Structure 1
Amino acid sequence: MPSAGRLALASAAAAVRTAGRISPSLGAAAALPLFMNTRPRMAVRAEEMPVIEAAERSELPVPGVRGRGGHAVAYSWPAPQTAREDAAASGTVLLVHGWGGRAAQFAPLVRELRAVGWGVVAFDAPAHGSAPGRGTFIVDFHAAMAELQRRHGAFRAVVGHSFGAFAALIAVAEGLETSRIIAISSPSDSDFLVRSFAAAVGLGKASTEALRDRFARRLFPGETGLYERYSAARHPLPDGVRLLLVHDDGDRTIPLSESERLRAAHSAWLDDQVELMTTTGLGHQRILSAPPVLEAVTAFVSG
């Protein structure tokens, strides 16, 4: 039997399609709240709890999706004392979860990174994990990353998953300081996010275009070129930044072609500083805890 959450989602999608058949404008109006939905919140699994409980917690102020204010929840795991005494191993790695995710998903990676001497910071974005709120978007992810950089300085590396990887790529292109970025299961741009959602709920072409316009007007009023600005495939990373893309060839949420597009774009800008690691059988979520991925990410951070 389908879960209650899946039944509710299917019912909402059916209502969106019905509205779209009446008019594209009504379809877009019905679709936008569903597109921005962050529920249900992901729970912390038992095996992740010891890592989360060991973290130092704090609040991160963010502007809120419409500038009304809010905060994210930050988690910090300082480098082991032995690593702090070794200048060659000093540094902090930032982890950025995806849409509907939370920092606890990175528990296996936190263990691996700290085992080889790195400090780690992460956060639950507004309306995710333990953070309050009913909505969020990329500006809040960027505000949280900027505040963590203010506290910890330039990052050794930034690791993002899904929407978090996309947000991290844009942040680094716009000035977040790091020498390495690992983008796991990343979309290439915000236009993909809108169009893939529209396809998933069955919106027609006219309603999809209306949704793109409504989304831009509602969240970024007065801003032009939204889809050009928020495209990780259109904006190069700074010189000297190395990029590792990790993607499963069977990912049903974000297809491998998105990372292939990112590799093609960034290879033209970063010469030999771009790598793509492809996995099989891990999907969109298990990829975060798979030993080969953990080993590759840790090696890339440390190399």
Structure 2
Amino acid sequence: MHKHGPGLSVSSGAPELGMAPQHRAWALRAPCRWLGAVAPRLLGRLAADAFSYTRSRHTPTRDVPPPGAQRFEIYGAPGVEHGYLWRRRGPGALLVHDWGADSSSMRGFVRPLQQLGFRVASFDAPAHGIWPGNTTTLRDFSASVEAAITSLGGVSVVIAHSVGCIAAVAALARAGGLPEPTRCLVLLAPAASWRRVIDTWAAGPAAVPPKVLQEMLRELQRREGLPLHHWDVVALGRQLWAPTLVLHDPADPDVAFCQAQQISRCFVSARLQPVPGLGHHRLLGSAHVRSEVARFVAVHARLLPSLPPGMPALRQ
């Protein structure tokens, strides 16, 4: 995710990780300014399309498993057929990428988790990476996370980035009764809610006026099939007992640090660790971040005594 939300990239010196071209937001500015008062519904739909865009020049063109990985089937997720799995045995770890990115953005965590004895899984969300389409909904994104967890028989740890954190927490809040319980969660530069992402994007280069924004919100809610306020990490996270590590740069230009603070205060068992100087994307490639994640996971997901079956990340 970028400062102005999905569907937009603004140069910040960091590599683009799946962000859609900047003109998709800028191109709305003039129509919104001149036609917003007379055609808000049409412009609201156009704004919803631009916001929901998932593609960039970094999108993979071939479905080739990464080095050392094999495919695993994902059942029950429309638009997603399989993911990638490193090792076939050991406790499971699932990596969840950001909106507009793909599974390759999380690959730096594979080796540290393998060294701890985990079987590590990742996948491209609907209309991301190798899958067709260029727009999706957070509902389908989150459903694909849940389907991946279920297809793996559960996972001990979930590591998610940015908007992927919303999708992952919502999936864990729905999951239950799996053979392998989720013991811990890592949130990297997490976005706190979908509505906050939308509002930040609308206030950026698109400069969406209030009437158009209201139509955009109606259209996005229609597509989601759920109230937009449902996608709130704080509310969903109150259902989770799993120890949670939150890593966030206090000067992150894309997602405000206060969102990580809010999440860490409201989760049952969460620790916020600032990682200054890494921005929103560079923390994914940081050796320091990988080390902190590995240390946390080793304590909470691998070395704890076994938990009874049927106790995933949900509080009972």
Q: Are 1:274 and 2:288 matched, yes or no?
A: no
Q: What SS does structure 2 have at the residue aligned with 1:94?
A: strand
Q: Is the 8 A contact 2:187 2:244 kept in 1?
A: yes
Q: Are 1:250 and 2:259 matched, yes or no?
A: no
Q: Are 1:150 and 2:164 matched, yes or no?
A: no
Describe how 1:254-265 pairs up with structure 2 within 5 A.
Answer: 254-265=255-266
Describe how 1:98-247 pairs up with structure 2 within 5 A.
Answer: 98-175=98-175, 177-200=181-204, 201-220=206-225, 223=226, 226-238=227-239, 240-247=241-248
CA 1:70–1:61 in structure 2 vs 1: closer, same or farther (change >3 Å)?
farther
Unaligned runs of 5+ in 2: 1-10, 300-316
Bigger relative contact order (CA 8 A; separation at least 6):
2
Letter of the aligned partner of 1:31 in structure 2?
A
Instruction: Give, in angstroms, the shift of residue 23 of structure 1.
Output: 4.3
Per-residue Cα deviation, 1:172-225 (whole angstroms, up to 9, x for no partner)? 2222551211111111111112111111121122322222122112331xx4xx
* Count, aligned residues: 275
Deviates more, 1:138-147 or 1:164-173: 138-147
CA distance in 1, matches of 2:65, 2:279: 24
CA distance in 2, matches of 1:19, 1:62: 42
Query: Larger % of helix: which?
Result: 1
CA distance in 1, matches of 2:141, 2:122: 11
Q: What SS does structure 2 have at the residue aligned with 1:181?
A: strand
Deviates more, 1:17-26 or 1:175-184: 17-26
Query: Larger % of strand: which?
Result: 1
Quote the residue 1:10 is aligned against: 26
Instruction: Give, in angstroms, the shift of residue 119 of structure 1.
Output: 1.2
Q: Is the 8 A contact 2:137 2:223 kept in 1?
A: no
Letter of the aligned partner of 2:217 in structure 1?
R
Describe how 1:64-103 pairs up with structure 2 within 5 A.
Answer: 69-78=78-87, 90-103=90-103
Q: Is the 8 A contact 2:73 2:151 kept in 1?
A: no
Output the TM-score relative to the length of structure 1: 0.81
Q: What SS does structure 2 have at the residue aligned with 1:240?
A: coil
CA RMSD of aligned residues (A): 2.7
Output the TM-score relative to the length of structure 2: 0.78
Per-residue Cα deviation, 1:43-81 (whole angstroms, up to 9, x for no partner)? 46xxxxx98232112453555xxxxx42254010116xx
Letter of the aligned partner of 2:95 in structure 1?
L
Unaligned runs of 5+ in 1: 45-49, 64-68, 85-89
Q: What SS does structure 1 have at the residue aligned with 2:80?
A: strand
Identity level (%): 26
Letter of the aligned partner of 1:260 in structure 2?
Q
Q: Are 1:40 and 2:56 matched, yes or no?
A: yes
Q: What SS does structure 1 have at the residue aligned with 2:296?
A: helix
Letter of the aligned partner of 1:30 in structure 2?
L
Instruction: Give, in angstroms, the shift of residue 118 of structure 1.
Output: 1.3
